[in-house]
Structure 1
Amino acid sequence: MAKAARAAQAWKTYRSVSKPGSPGLGARLRALPRMIGAVMRGQYPGMSKGKLAMMGLGVLYIISPVDIVPDFLVLIGVADDFGVFLWLMSSLLGEGGRYVDWERDRVRAVPS
């Protein structure tokens, strides 16, 4: 993904998190373990196991000492990690917000 596209996605995620009435950052972060469990159990239709696996690979890429572009190439090596980090955070926060909304809708749909 190009730098401009990553920056645009990060900005879109920030605006989504800070929009009045949408789930806040804390709610999105707290929802991630529940979302991962629901995806693994096949209960949450909003995300595939494949996308969850891609996010897991993103985490591994960030923490791995082996990079496609070595970090000793200072600016370039760190930029690829930062690009993956931006994609991962925007994906996790975006999906987390959609999951919180999905949970909220399910609770409303259950008759009392």
Structure 2
Amino acid sequence: MRKSNRAAAGAAAWRAVQHSARPGAPGLGERAAALPRMLMSRLRGRYDGFSVSRLLMYGLAIVYVASPIDLVPELFVPVLGLADDVGVTVWLATALMGESERFLEWERREGRVQGHVVG
């Protein structure tokens, strides 16, 4: 993907993230910091808030956006070529926002802070 297309996809994802914020919900920084903990907790079997197939979907989305190979190449159909990248990026950003919020709620319910049990 060209640099300008990545920037456009990133800007669209940022707008989606900003519009999905609710009062009292964890901030973007807190959610981003929770992603590695969420992944490790899932891989270790401690957190079962999302399936392995969903984890694979996230991985495929990251590979698709980062890959220079597109389903709809920008060279032939510029608008549609950009739209598929933006669509996948926005879906990934909003899905991870929701997953990380659920994970942070799970951590609070379980009494976990930064991957350690409080007690």
Task: Answer yes or no: same fold by TM over 0.5.
Answer: yes
Scaled to the shorter chain, the TM-score interval is: 0.7 to 0.9
In structure 2, relative to structure 1, the CA distance for the partners of 1:111 and 1:25 (3 Å cut) is closer
Runs of at least 4 residues of structure 1 off by over 4 A? 13-16
What is the SS of the residue equivalent to 1:33?
helix
Name which of 98, 104, 111 aligns with 1:107: 111
Name which of 38, 56, 61 aligns with 1:58: 61
What is the TM-score when the length of structure 1 is the normalising length?
Answer: 0.80
Unaligned runs of 5+ in 1: 1-6
What is the match of residue 80 of structure 1? 84
RMSD value, Cα: 2.2
What is the TM-score when the length of structure 2 is the normalising length?
Answer: 0.75
Distance 1:104 1:68 in 2: 40
Unaligned runs of 5+ in 2: 1-11
What is the match of residue 52 of structure 2? 49
What is the match of residue 24 of structure 2? 21
Query: Is the counterpart of residue 91 in structure 1 residue 115 in structure 2?
Result: no
Q: Percent identity?
A: 46
Name which of 31, 36, 52 aligns with 2:34: 31
Question: How many equivalent residue pairs?
Answer: 101
What do residues 2-41 of structure 1 show as CA deviations (whole Å, max 9, x unaligned)? Answer: xxxxx9xx86x64552x22211111101000000111111
Code of the aligned partner of 1:97? E
Q: Contact 1:28–1:96 (CA<8 Å) still a contact in 2? A: yes
Q: Which structure's residues are more often helix, by fraction?
A: 1
